[in-house]
Structure 1
Amino acid sequence: MSDTELPELPELPRGIALAWGVAADPQRGPKREMSVEKIVAAAVELADAEGLGAVSMAAVAAKLGFTPMSLYRYVTAKDDLLLLMQEEATGLPPDEHREQEGWQAKLRALFDAQVQHYLAHPWILSLPITGSPITPNSSAWLDAGLTALAETPLNESERLAVALAVTGEARWYGQVSAGYTEQARSSGLSQAEVAARESALFDQVITADEYPSLRRAIDAGVFTAEDDPFRFAMERIFDGVDAYIAGLDRGEPHAVEQDWIDVEDADVAGDKKVREARKAVREAEKALRAARKNERVVLRDARQRVEGARARG
């Protein structure tokens, strides 16, 4: 390749090309009222009403009054449909975040809005994360987070790290909240009643001998408290970033965190001998936990016998 010759760019996958509106138009048949937009809207309605498991090419086609084959003229694979559904349900960031003063207020508004999106479309949380957002709406959310930090002394990598922290906390918040909402819907209980039932179940099985810290938390009523642990965590992240920014303003150097967690190669993790060795480790750990539990029971009984003998003596 010559000095002036540019490397060939990879072709956009069809789902991403459809999201950006740059995919080749399908060869339209007689049913010209069909469109990618209508297919995606129908699929989102199905997922919102019945969950992601209800979405299939056949189900979407039936909802629109067409045959599955007619859909494949527009969306050639279900994975592409799922990508477009996620893009549609994600929407654009609310304009209100731009009206906030300061990076924290802007990010807080984006955090709240993302959580609400997950609660409105909880099936999004079932979709796997396959890489960085490359679709327009997902890119707009990331761009909004970076823009909120544009006036800070953070460098570009640090701004991305903070934006990802906000997105990740919002996703986790949405996942747990959506789970409680679904439990409340299916059981007929209020969310407060679901939390109380969960606390009661923990109360039955968590002992101070085996799980001392968790037992103290249960006794303190953490599972029925009105405190919002996710917002607390988000605010503490903001506090840490604010302190870091203050250090940069004082002339302190940017932190350098280059050691990524060592992610194991998929071929290694899938090796039969590796799987067997790890299974043996899990079984040994299980046996060790059982032995330690038995030890605690024996010690407790021994103490009770000693105390009883002392009381009688």
Structure 2
Amino acid sequence: MKDHENEENLPSGVAISWGLGKQPQRGPKRELSIKQIVETAIEIADKDGLAALSMNKVASTLGFTTMSLYRYIPSKDDLLLLMQDAVCDVPFPTDDEETDWREKMREYVRVSTGIIQDHPWFNDIPISGIPVTPNQLKMVDIALRSTRDLLLNDYEKMSIVLLLSGYARWCGTIMKDMNRALQAGKSPGAFNGIDYSTALKKLVTPEGYPDLYPVLMSGAYTEENEEENTVGDDFDFGLERILDGIEHYLISKRAQ
């Protein structure tokens, strides 16, 4: 960290992410670093989940006392924030002026969902405010690039970023839960419903479920007839409809 106080009055974890504050004046003979601590914490959370993560676990993994860690990172909440920021430091395709805005938005959602896929604990940390750490703000900046040449004001641009980010977070959460269940031994058929198709067709009646019944009987609900599926991947389908909505909004604005 830079050798000066946190003049911006930022929360401690945010200040650390920006390199503000003072280095510990005293510490163990073999010095730690914030980067070491955060990387070790990420490794633990990636392997064993967020429930297994503690300051004590990180310290013992590194071969230090827990108090040694607190000289660098004041609390576990600060550590979690720094972990989230660190995993947002991801490669992103070079900004290509020839790429249309729809593809740029698709890429942003893919990258955002990929972070959650690679680090399933990411969404286990509750949202506590707007992004304010450097790498998370880079993600916002990347998302805004897709709106750069669109006829939108700043509030509309940020609303679209929030929409895309929310969709990516939702997709990432569903994928994370599915992967965890599969790793725990759950059948893939439990997710697409094929395991329960025969039973459901007996239990679901047209009288009790008038709109679900024909969908169930067609095989669409349990993905029985994938060759007849003209939609494709559910997550991609949802994203394309969001992009269609944005495009419709742009057309209406141009017509005003």
Aligned mates of 2:29, 2:215 — CA distance in 1: 61
Matched ranges for 1:1-313 at <5 A: 11-92=9-90, 94-96=92-94, 98=96, 101-187=99-185, 189=187, 191=188, 194-196=191-193, 199-200=196-197, 203=200, 206-219=204-217, 220-224=219-223, 225=226, 227-250=232-255, 252=256
Deviations 1:214-245 (A, max 9, x none): 33333333333573222212111111111221
Q: Which amino acid aligns with 1:223?
A: T
Q: Which amino acid aligns with 2:69?
A: L
Q: Which amino acid aligns with 2:143?
A: G
Give the corresponding residue for 2:4. Answer: none
Aligned mates of 1:52, 1:99 — CA distance in 2: 40
SS in 1 for 2:184: helix
Aligned mates of 1:134, 1:99 — CA distance in 2: 27
Aligned pairs, how many? Answer: 242
Is the CA contact (8 Å cut-off) linking 1:93 and 1:141 kept in structure 2?
no
Aligned mates of 1:43, 1:56 — CA distance in 2: 8
Give, in angstroms, the shift of residue 33 of structure 1: 2.9
Q: Which amino acid aligns with 1:112?
A: R
User: Any stretches of 5+ residues in structure 1 without a counterpart?
Assistant: 1-8, 253-313
Aligned mates of 1:222, 1:122 — CA distance in 2: 27
RMSD of aligned residue pairs (Cα, Å) = 2.3
* Structure number with larger C-alpha Rg: 1
TM-score scaled by structure 2? 0.85
| More divergent stretch after superposition (99-108 vs 14-23) | 99-108
Is the CA contact (8 Å cut-off) linking 1:56 and 1:78 kept in structure 2?
yes
Q: Which amino acid aligns with 1:59?
A: K
CA 1:217–1:96 in structure 2 vs 1: closer, same or farther (change >3 Å)? farther
Give, in angstroms, the shift of residue 116 of structure 1: 1.2
User: Any stretches of 5+ residues in structure 2 without a counterpart?
Assistant: 1-6
